[in-house]
Chains A and B, each alone.
Chain A
Amino acid sequence: MFDNPKIRINELSVEYDDGTQALSDVCLDIPKNAITALFGPAGGGKSTLLRTLNRLNDLLDVSISGEVILDDINIFDRNVDVISLRRRVGIVFAQPIPLPFSIRKNITYGLELAGERRRAKLDDAVEGSLRSSALWDEVKDRLNDSATALSGGQQQRLCIARVLALAPEVLLLDEPTSGLDPISTAKVESSLQILKQDYTVVIAPSSIQQTARIADLAVFMLQGELVEWGRGKDLFSAPREKQTEEYITGRFG
C-alpha cells in the first residue's frame, strides 16, 4: 500500500503491571512522509502504541514483547540509546503542557539538553520551529514571556514547536487538538499537512471526523488490537470489517 515504511511494528504486545493487556500482537508498517492516524474508542491502545514508539512507557512498569524497527534498528535492543531515540521520535501530548519557562526557553530546552550553546543556532531553531507550527506571528514579539500565559491553542502549537526544534524524524501526536477550539484545530491540522513533507507523522486524532480529514493511512484499533487499516479515503468509504463500519457510522464508541 505504502512502499516506504519508516517504522515496522512486528507482533507488539504490551501489558501493564496491573495485568491490563494494552496491545496484543500489533503488526503495522508506518509509512514515511505521511500521516498515520490511529483511531477507535477509548481504551483501544492508541496512547500506549504512541508511547511505546519512543519508549516513554519505560517510565511505567510494563512488559513488552515484539519488535519496533525504526529504519534498521529494533528500538528495544539493549544497546539502543533511549535518549537519542526520543530525540528522533518526538511526542506531543493531549494536554498542552508547556514547561514553566519562557516561550523561548521551552523551545531551546531540548537543544540545550543536548549541549547546544550557540545563540545563533538556538535563535534559528526558535524561529524555524515556531513558523512550522504556525505560531511565530503570534508570539514573535514576546518570546521571553511565560509560556503558561498563552491560550490553550497557542500552548499546543508551542508544544509541537518544541518537539520540531529537536529535528525529529518521527512526530507522535496523542489527541493534539482535544482541548482546542475549531480555529486552533484547523491551524494545527493545516500545519500537519505541511509537516508531513519532512516528517513521519503518527497521530491519535481527537475525533473520527478529524481522522477522515487528515489520515493518509487510517488504522482502526479496538481493545488493543488492530482491526483494519487502509488508505484514509478507502477505509472511510468502504470499510471491510463490520466493527469498523459500526464505529465510523456512530453505532458504538
Chain B
Amino acid sequence: MIRLSRHHTERIAFSVIGLAAVATAVPIIVIVGSIFFSGAEAVSWQFLLEMPRDGMRSGGIWPAIIGTVYLVVGTGLISIPLGIASAIYLSEYATDSYWTRMIRLAIVNLAGIPSVVYGLFGLGLFVLFLDLGSSIVAACLTLSIMTIPVIISTAEEALRSVPQSFRVVSVGMGATRWQTIRRVVLPQALPGILTGVILGLNRAAGETAPILFTGAAFFLPKLPNSIFDQTMALPYHLFVISTQVPEMPITIQYGTATVLITFVLTMNILAASVRSWQRRKREW
C-alpha cells in the first residue's frame, strides 16, 4: 500500500472538498443562467404589465405577478405577528416543560411536511370546513401555516443569541420583562428576525402545491376584487403554461420562469444583505 505524505493527503482532501463546493454551485448557476438566457427576450414592460391574451399564448403575466404579491403580503400579515409572538414566548417567557417541548416538536415537524400536505390540509380546513371557498384568504392562511415554523425557529434563534447579560442589566435597572424585550432584546434580534421573515415569505412566494386547491386560479380574465376571490399566481401560472396549455410559445414559459426566479432571488439577496448588515452592526 502506498503511504501518502501528510502534505499530499492535505492537498487531496482540499481538492475533494473544493470539488464538492463547485458541484453544489454549478447546477444553480446553470439553471438560473439558462433560464435567464432563454427568458430575457420575452421579458418587457408589456409582458410584465399586460393581461394574458389568446388563451395565455400571448400578452403578459400581470395578474400572476399581482396575485403573488397579494399572497405574499397576506401571508406576511398573518404569519409575521404570529410567528414573532410565538418566538418571543418560547425564547423569553416559556419554561422548559412538557408543553413547550411539544410545541417545539410540532414546529420542527411542521417544517418537514411536504407542501402538498399543507395544500390538502388548507382545502379541508379553510376552503371546505370554514367555508372560505377557494380564495386569496384561504391560500394565505394555508401558506401561513407553512411559513410560521420558519419564522418561529429563526426568530427564536435570533432572540436567544442576544446575550443574557443584557437582560440582567436591564432588569437590574428597573425594567420590566416586557420593557427589556421591547427596548433591548427585540432591536438586537431584529435583523435575524427579518432574515427569517424574508426566507419564510420567499418560500410562500415560490410554492405551488399549497395554493393549488386553496386559492390559485387556472386563468382569470380580470384581477381579483376582494380577498374572497381566487387569484392567479406566478408559480401556478408557470405550472399551467408549461404543462396544461397546448402550443404554448416557449419564450413565454421562460419569461415567466425568469420573473419568478428574479422575484425569489431578489428576496434571497435581501435576506443575505440584512444578515451581513446585522453582523457589521453587532456590537458584542
Residues on A facing B (Cβ under 8 Å) = 54, 56, 59, 83-84, 86-87, 90-91, 93, 95, 97, 99-100, 109-110, 113-114, 146, 148, 159, 162-163, 166
Contact between B174 and A99 (Cβ–Cβ < 8 Å)?
no
Q: Which of A83, A93, A114, A166 contacts B169 (CB 8 A)?
A: A93
How many Å lie between the Cα of A83 and that of B178 in the bound state?
Answer: 12
How many Å lie between the Cα of A252 and that of B172 in the bound state?
Answer: 33
Q: Which of A86, A100, A146, A148 contacts B172 (CB 8 A)?
A: A86
Please name the residue on chain B nearest to A114 by beta carbon.
B174
Counting chain A CB atoms within 10 Å of each CB, the highest count among B163, B171, B174, B283 belongs to B174
Q: Which of B163, B175, B187 contacts A113 (CB 8 A)?
A: B175
Contact between B174 and A97 (Cβ–Cβ < 8 Å)?
no
Residue B245 CB within 8 A of the other chain:
no
- List, sorted by A's number, 25 A–B pairs whose CB atoms are closer than 8 Å: A54-B172, A56-B171, A56-B172, A59-B168, A83-B174, A83-B176, A86-B171, A86-B173, A86-B174, A93-B169, A93-B172, A95-B165, A97-B166, A97-B169, A99-B166, A99-B169, A99-B170, A100-B166, A100-B188, A100-B283, A109-B170, A110-B173, A110-B174, A110-B175, A166-B173
- A169 CB to closest chain B CB (Å) equals 13
Contact between B179 and A113 (Cβ–Cβ < 8 Å)?
yes
Contacts of A56 in B (CB 8 A): 168, 171-172
Contacts of A95 in B (CB 8 A): 165
Contacts of A59 in B (CB 8 A): 168, 171
| Interface of A, helix, strand, loop or mixed by DSSP | helix
Please name the residue on chain A nearest to B169 by beta carbon.
A97
Residue B284 CB within 8 A of the other chain:
yes
Known: A86-B174, A109-B173. A148 touches B166 (CB 8 A): no
Contacts of A97 in B (CB 8 A): 163, 165-166, 168-169
Contacts of A110 in B (CB 8 A): 173-175
- B49 CB to closest chain A CB (Å) equals 45
Residue B101 CB within 8 A of the other chain:
no
| Interface of B, helix, strand, loop or mixed by DSSP | helix
- A129 CB to closest chain B CB (Å) equals 12
Residue B53 CB within 8 A of the other chain:
no
Contacts of B169 in A (CB 8 A): 93, 97, 99, 159
Chain B 151-187 near chain A by CB (<8 Å), digits 1 or 0: 0000000000001011011111111100100011001
Please name the residue on chain B nearest to A159 by beta carbon.
B169
Contacts of B188 in A (CB 8 A): 100
- A60 CB to closest chain B CB (Å) equals 10
How many Å lie between the Cα of A90 and that of B173 in the bound state?
Answer: 7
How many Å lie between the Cα of A113 and that of B182 in the bound state?
Answer: 11
Contacts of A83 in B (CB 8 A): 174-176
- A155 CB to closest chain B CB (Å) equals 12
How many Å lie between the Cα of A54 and that of B172 in the bound state?
Answer: 8
Contacts of B187 in A (CB 8 A): 100
How many Å lie between the Cα of A44 and that of B164 in the bound state?
Answer: 24
Q: Which of B168, B173, B175, B284 contacts A100 (CB 8 A)?
A: B284
- A119 CB to closest chain B CB (Å) equals 18
- B191 CB to closest chain A CB (Å) equals 12
Contacts of B171 in A (CB 8 A): 56, 59, 86
Please name the residue on chain A nearest to B179 by beta carbon.
A113
Contact between B166 and A166 (Cβ–Cβ < 8 Å)?
no
Contacts of B183 in A (CB 8 A): 109, 113
Contacts of A113 in B (CB 8 A): 173-175, 179, 183
Q: A99-B184, A109-B183, A114-B174 are in contact. List 7 more A-B contacts (CB 8 A).
A: A86-B174, A87-B174, A91-B172, A93-B169, A95-B165, A110-B173, A113-B175
